[in-house]
């Protein structure tokens, strides 16, 4: 079976943008309901001749602020079950939020391999924003920019260590 990468993180950090970078054109499954978007997306990518599956778990977002923590908990649990390696995505422009910390604790307890990706590092000057994320406890943060396609190879190198 192909190794599975799951992208986990609170809403709006850029999971879907990175997902699209990882899979190129090979997209799957979208399903919408009012108030709930269950567009849990599966795709296939390739890195150094190795095929992998990738899940954008962030499609599960329930409307309403109070539901955010609940929704990230659900997506994290789903990812934990299926993934060989989890890409924990955070927002390098916003910094660490309580929801990030909550997700981090869930992932930590899972004992699955986690690669920490700091998205929205769009230029060299923003590089300094990644350091605060060491405190999440997942080792070296990997700087990426889904918008600009920066750091995707570094992210895949790190993930592929756990294939
Ligand atoms: P998701 O909710 O985690 O799936 O996040 P999305 O992929 O939908 O992105 C959320 C918002 O962040 C959108 O407005 C994106 O255009 C923006 N975004 C995503 N990646 C980047 C990035 O690398 N840099 C910047 N500046 N914005 C980004
Ligand atoms: Mg999304």
DSSP 110: H
pLDDT tens for 53-93 read 998 886 444 445 466 666 666 766 777 788 999 999 999 99
8 A C-beta contact, residue 27 and residue 38: no
120 lines ligand 1 (CB under 6 A): yes
pLDDT band at 124 (very low <50, low <70, confident <90, very high): very high
Mean pLDDT is highest, among 26-30, 36-40, 100-104, 112-116, for 112-116
pLDDT band at 155 (very low <50, low <70, confident <90, very high): very high
CATH number of the domain at 104, please: 3.40.50.300
Q: Report which of residues 44 and 29 the model is more confident about.
A: 44
- What average pLDDT does the segment 29-39 reach? 47
For ion ligand 2, residues whose CB falls within 5 Å = 15-16, 58
Q: Is the pLDDT of residue 36 over 50?
A: no
Q: Is the pLDDT of residue 35 over 90?
A: no
Q: Report which of residues 20 and 128 the model is more confident about.
A: 128
Measured N-to-C along each axis, helices 15-23 and 152-160 cross at an angle, to the nearest 10 degrees, of 80
| Structural domain total, the chain | 1
How far apart are alpha carbons 67 and 69 in whole angstroms? 6
145 lines ligand 1 (CB under 6 A): yes
Non-local CB neighbours of 125 within 8 Å, separated by 6+ positions: none
Q: Indicate which residue's Cα is closest to atom 17 of ligand 1.
A: 14
State the binding site: 9-16, 56-60, 119-122
The mean pLDDT of the chain is 85
The most distant pair of C-alpha atoms in the chain lies apart, rounded to whole Å, by 43
Give the global pTM. 0.88
Nearest bound ligand to the CA of residue 60? 2
Q: Give me the domain span that covers residue 50.
A: 4-160
Nearest bound ligand to the CA of residue 17? 1
pLDDT of residue 120: 98
């Amino acid at each position: 079976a192909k190794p599975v990468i799951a992208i986990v993180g609170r809403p709006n950090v850029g999971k879907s943008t990175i997902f699209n970078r990882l899979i190129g054109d090979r997209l799957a499954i979208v399903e919408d309901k009012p108030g709930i978007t269950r567009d849990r997306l599966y795709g296939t990518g390739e890195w150094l001749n190795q095929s992998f599956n990738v899940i954008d778990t962030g499609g599960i977002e329930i409307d309403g602020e109070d539901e955010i923590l609940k929704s990230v908990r659900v997506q994290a649990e789903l990812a934990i079950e299926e993934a060989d390696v989890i890409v924990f995505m955070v927002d390098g422009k916003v910094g660490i939020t309580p929801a990030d910390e909550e997700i981090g604790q869930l992932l930590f307890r899972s004992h699955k391999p986690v690669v920490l990706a700091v998205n929205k590092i769009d230029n060299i000057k923003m590089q300094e924003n990644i350091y605060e994320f060491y405190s999440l406890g997942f080792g070296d943060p990997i700087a990426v920019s889904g918008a600009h396609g920066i750091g995707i190879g570094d992210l895949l190198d790190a993930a592929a260590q756990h294939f």
